[in-house]
Amino acid sequence: MNYGPSVASDEDTLKIYGYRTSKARTIAFWTLSIVTLGISRLFLHWSEKLYIKVRATPCNLDQADMMLVIDDHDVHTIRPVVETKAATGEHLVLPNERGDEMIQVDRFKWFTFRKMKYVWFESECKYITPADIDSTCPSFRAQIKAQDSIRLSVAIWHSNQYAAYAR
């Protein structure tokens, strides 16, 4: 099997593949599940690799709405890709890959795996964890302006959907 890009996080090196669902495959999947009284769904639940092949087609990571994540122990896990969009007229603020500058974005994509969040950086065309950004940031640059820090906190706070609790 030809693996996708590698993403290193702490002790693990993950291999990730991007997949995109379609209405036709979704309809076929649920029709098959109903016709077989759930037996096909049960078999697909046991095999993540087969499940993703039935549900979606391979695509570039920037177009994916599902990720097939393969860890060091060859365990296959499917994770949904979430897209967070800024409200009309507003921007979200994220650090760049080096962590030395804040950038404004209208939206960003991310997925979680084992309680770690992987954020898609379009400029680098790869997923990066916030911990990786912190580790590459020199300590004297880590003390960013309070205003930028608040914006980053709001962006992360919004991406975790805490905004619904604040209302």
Nearest to 68 by CA among 91, 52, 85, 87: 52
Q: What is the overall mean pLDDT for the chain?
A: 75
Q: Average pLDDT in the 130-158 region?
A: 50
Whether residue 117 has pLDDT greater than 70: yes
pLDDT of residue 147: 43
Query: Helix (H, G, I), strand (E, B), or coil: what is residue 40?
Result: helix
**pLDDT class for 146, splitting at 50, 70, 90?**
very low
Tokens representing 3?
Answer: 């693996």
Provide the H-helix boundaries in 36-128.
39-46, 48-55
What b/e string do you get for 77-95 counting C-beta neighbours within 10 Å, with b at 16 or more? ebbebeebebeeeeebbbb
Whether residue 69 has pLDDT greater than 80: yes
Residue 31 burial class via C-beta count within 10 angstroms: exposed 0-12, middle 13-18, buried 19 and up: exposed
Q: Average pLDDT in the 94-114 region?
A: 78
DSSP one-letter code for 30:
H
| Cα dist from 15 to 33, 77, 86, 128, whole Å | 29, 11, 29, 13
Q: Are strands 56-59 and 66-70 parallel, antiparallel or unpaired?
A: unpaired
12 contacts 20 by C-beta, under 8 angstroms? no
**pLDDT class for 5, splitting at 50, 70, 90?**
confident
pLDDT of residue 13: 82
**pLDDT class for 53, splitting at 50, 70, 90?**
confident
Q: Average pLDDT in the 8-28 region?
A: 84
67 contacts 111 by C-beta, under 8 angstroms? yes
Whether residue 35 has pLDDT greater than 90: yes
pTM: 0.66
**pLDDT class for 31, splitting at 50, 70, 90?**
very high
| Residue 118 CB partners (closer than 8 Å, separation 6+) | 7, 9, 110, 111, 112, 127, 128, 129
